[in-house]
Structure 1
Amino acid sequence: MLEQWDLQILLVPGILLVLLFSYVPMYGVIMGFQNFKLGDFPGFSEWAGFKHFQTMFADKYFGLAMRNTLVISALKMFIGFPIPILFAVMLNEMRIQPIKKSVQTISYLPHFISWVVTATLMFDLLSTDGGAVNEFLMWIGIIKQPIGFFSDGKYFWGLTLLTDIWKELGWNAIIFVAAITSISQDMYEAADIDGATRVQKMWHITIKSIKPTIILMFIFQVGGILNANFDQIMMLTKQMSNAMLKEYADVIDTFIYRLGVSQGRFSFAAAAGLFKSVINFALLLSANWIAGKFGESQLF
């Protein structure tokens, strides 16, 4: 370290940022065990013990929020997670480079569109009054009357999944595309000599070679299972003002926002946030441990 002091100095800004934005805020966790009020110095408020946790578990909307969070996260994990992997593999199989690069560029552009704009597009496309999707479905004879996608909660989980896939497909595939490019071409040439078909090469070489990357990304996905994308849900429900969607759209993050932040109950919000973080951390450790038990890649 002394010999490379000039290079070590380059680490200082990164270390300071992590300390400032990741470790210092941990002190605020103590608010979840106190009756914090605006104006109080953090850590010096009246102690409340586990009062706010008990209040959260007893709330009639907590169970509903947990159900919606787990269902939406499960859909994104078991349906939304594999799709970028398949997309990356398909991109790798394309031989016409200009088309390949164009498809990849177009696929990750939606990532840079805000959820405000994305939600507005969805409202227009799925509108019952001249929306392109309803008009097309009626034109081909699948439906006779427009479907109220945003007036019936049973469609919301599917809309959440589809909009998330459309917006993040290309962006999430980037890391898998990068992993595929590191695969030695000698393996494909050897497979050609052995008479392997294209599908066999995709399965036995491409997917098997990026398996460690897939497992690591899946562990991260499991560790964020209680994160159901607050921005997406708030925009698709018009900041939770659409009462017809509340039964299917209210998740842990919106639950914390409604009952904690919006009402100035900061201690309640801190307690709920701590609960969510502890569960996510436990799931992350469990997924990492299971991966190690099966001899696969681990985070640590």
Structure 2
Amino acid sequence: MTALRTFKKRVAKNGQLYLLLFPAFALVFVFAYIPMPGVVLSFMNYDMFEGFSGSEWVGLEHVRAIFELPMMTESIWNTLLVSILTLVVCFPAPIMLAILLNELRLAVFKRVVQTVFYLPHFLSWISVIGIAYGFYALYGPLNDLRIFLFGPGTERLMFLANQHWFIPNVLLLSMWKELGWSTIIFLASIASIDQQLYEAAYMDGAGRFKQTLHVTLPGIVPTIVILLILNLGNLFQSNFELIYGLQNPYVNFEVISTIVFKQGIQQGAYGLATALGFVQGLVALVLTITANRIARKASGIGIW
């Protein structure tokens, strides 16, 4: 009863905060927890007309069949390649942008720059892909710029129909859309650093660069480590919407998430697709736990 009364007092005291959190909790519950029983499809030859009770139980057959799928091995390597390159290229970018924005002293200019970088986040991926098709078009702005710079004889290129440009396009569009939004986390972390540390560094003769190097960066290390752990856990995940949207008859590039979609939605192999997604989730869990343990031992910082 004491615990219940304490909980009621806490809810009454922070009622508005709990109310703000409710939509997020509801979304997670509806889209993450309610579908969890569906993992049983991994072990069944599911028939939508027979339902769960009438479908054949096949055990681990689908898990074994995963590695016999065409393009499966290649899709695993493609997923790892895109994830690692995204981590190497896109993860440090918001850190650097946050530090640069923090150094801006003209408030109006700082707000304008932040707005310009934040806005793409609110576009859907299908809108981003549409913009990319227009920008990269044979007679689009990018080809026009190349002709303006290099002369009328410059060959117009089909950037989205070239296999070699696929990964650079994925990285570029991912960074353009999410760079500004990811910066918010690091700006908040920088804002939480005690200003007395900067004053002490200034009194010791440190300039802006040394203050950034010895005060700002160490101050945001916990945030960097936590986000890095979460990103390492997603090495076998990929941006399905972007990669699937950029696929076309000229580009053959599959990742695990596109295989799941094509097996489950296009071919109706619900059990096989669910098994693949289940294994992918288990790998992500193992990677997250491993990364957290390594970070905890190396720096004393972790998610738990």
Normalised to the residue count of structure 2, the TM-score between the two structures is 0.90
Amino acid across the alignment from 1:290: I
Q: Distance in 1 between the 2:55 and 2:9 partners?
A: 44
CA distance in 2, matches of 1:264, 1:153: 28
SS across alignment from 1:3 = helix
Distance change in 2, residues 1:159/1:18 (3 Å): closer
Partner of 1:283: 287
Q: What SS class does the counterpart of residue 238 from structure 2 fall into?
A: coil
Q: How many residues are aligned here?
A: 293
The structure 2 residue matched to 1:139, chosen from 148, 152, 163, is 148
Identity in percent: 33
Greater CA drift, 11-20 or 289-298: 11-20
Residue 21 of structure 1, CA deviation: 4.0
Question: Residue 28 of structure 1 contacts residue 42 of structure 1 at CA under 8 Å; is this kept in 2?
Answer: no
Name the structure 2 match of 1:66: 76
2:44/2:55 contact within 8 Å kept: yes
1:15 CA drift (Å): 6.6
AA of the residue aligned to 1:187: L
Runs of 5+ consecutive residues of structure 2 not aligned to the other structure: none
Using the TM superposition, give the Cα deviation of residue 75 of structure 1 relative to its aligned residue in structure 2, in angstroms: 1.1
For 1:268, the equivalent position in structure 2 comes to 272
Is residue 263–residue 270 contact of structure 2 (8 Å, CA) maintained in 1?
Answer: no
Aligned mate of 1:194, from 187, 204, 224: 204
**Structure 1's 159 and 57: CA in aligned 2 closer, same or farther, altered over 3 A?**
same
SS at match of 2:52: coil
Give the aligned residue type for 2:149: I
Q: Deviations over 1:157-184 (max 9, x none)?
A: 0000000000001001101000100111
Q: 1:245 aligns with which of 246, 251, 254?
A: 251
Alignment match of 1:207 (pick from 199, 217, 224): 217
| Higher mean displacement: 210-219 or 20-29 | 20-29
Conserved 8 A contact 2:238-2:257: yes
For structure 1, the residue ranges without an aligned partner over 5 or more in a row are: none
CA deviations over 1:236-278 (Å, ceiling 9, x no partner): 22xxxx12212xx311111111122211111011101001101
The 2-side partners of 1:43 and 1:68 are apart by: 37
Contact 2:295 2:302 in 1 (8 A): yes
Q: Does 1:93 align with 2:103?
A: yes
CA distance in 1, matches of 2:197, 2:29: 44
CA distance in 2, matches of 1:217, 1:131: 37
Letter in 2 for 1:116: I
Compared with structure 1, are the counterparts of its residues 103 and 18 closer, same or farther at alpha carbon in structure 2 (3 Å cutoff)? closer
Query: In structure 1, which of residues 198, 218, 230 is the aligned counterpart of residue 240 of structure 2?
Result: 230
Q: CA RMSD in A?
A: 2.1
Give 1:23's aligned residue: 33
Give the SS at the match of 2:70.
Answer: coil
Alpha-carbon deviation of 1:220? 0.8
Structure 1 residues 144 and 57: CA distance shift in structure 2, 3 A: same
Deviation of 1:8 (Å): 4.2
Task: In structure 1, give the amino acid aligned to 2:4.
Answer: L
Q: Are 2:152 and 1:148 aligned?
A: no
Indicate the SS of the match to 2:299: coil
CA displacement, residues 195-238 of structure 1 (integer Å, 9 cap, x when unaligned)? 1122111111111100000000111111112221111112222x
Residue 254 of structure 1 aligns to which amino acid in structure 2? T
Who is 2:229 aligned against? 219
Which residue type is aligned with residue 134 of structure 1? Answer: N
Provide the TM-score with structure 1 as the length reference. Answer: 0.91
Amino acid at match of 1:253: S
- Measured in 2, the distance between the counterparts of 1:156 and 1:17 equals 33
